[in-house]
């Protein structure tokens, strides 16, 4: 089965600072999803990456999938308190399948003033 490891497990950054969260897979990633979760709430879809070398951005968040499709990074520029939460990467099955997701261990982000 596919395993996803995220690093760091938790992160405390000062407002305005940049940060990066990594997600490493034990197998080739056919679809890599990034979600954000606030404690006790559901998941908010951020981005999905499929192709090796692909990079997507939304507002101040950029996600990349490496060429080998086994590692993804999520970069937040000029962090704000609203970025605080738990970031989860999820891996889907092969293309064309029902794509049930396996989730990473999660990264808990706190942004201090």
Partner 1 sequence: GAVVSQHPSWVICKSGTSVKIECRSLDFQATTMFWYRQFPKQSLMLMATSNEGSKATYEQGVEKDKFLINHASLTLSTLTVTSAHPEDSSFYICSARVPWGGSSYEQYFGPGTRLTVT
Q: Which residue number, 28 or 105, has a Cβ lying nearer to partner 1?
A: 105
- Decide if residue 104 touches partner 1 (CB under 8 A): yes
Is there a contact between 112 and 16 (Cβ–Cβ < 8 Å)?
Answer: no
- Go through 79-103 and write b for each residue having 16 or more CB atoms within 10 A of its CB, e for each that does not: beeebbbbbbbbbbeeeeeeeebbb
Contact residue for partner 1 among 16, 45, 57, 80 (CB under 8 A):
45
Say if strands 43-49 and 55-58 run parallel, antiparallel, or are unpaired: unpaired
43 lies in the site for partner 1, by CB under 8 A: yes
Is residue 113 involved in binding partner 1 (CB under 8 A)? no
Q: Of 19-27, 43-51, 56-64, 77-85, which part binds partner 1 (CB under 8 A)?
A: 43-51
Q: Where does this chain touch partner 1 (CB under 8 A) — which range of 19-27, 41-49, 66-74, 76-84?
A: 41-49
Q: What is the DSSP letter of 15?
A: T
Q: For binding to partner 1 (CB under 8 A), which residues are involved?
A: 31, 33, 35, 40-45, 48, 50, 88, 92, 95-96, 98-106
């Amino acid at each position: 089965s596919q395993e996803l490891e995220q690093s760091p497990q938790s992160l405390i950054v000062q407002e305005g600072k940049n940060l990066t969260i990594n997600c490493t897979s034990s197998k080739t990633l056919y679809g890599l999803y990034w979600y954000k979760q606030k404690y006790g709430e559901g998941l908010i879809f951020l981005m999905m990456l499929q192709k090796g070398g692909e990079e997507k951005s939304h507002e101040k968040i950029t996600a990349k999938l490496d060429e080998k499709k086994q590692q993804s990074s999520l970069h937040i520029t000029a962090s704000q308190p609203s970025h605080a939460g738990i970031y989860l990467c999820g891996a889907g099955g092969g293309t064309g399948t029902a794509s049930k997701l396996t989730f990473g261990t999660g990264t808990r982000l706190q942004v201090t003033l």
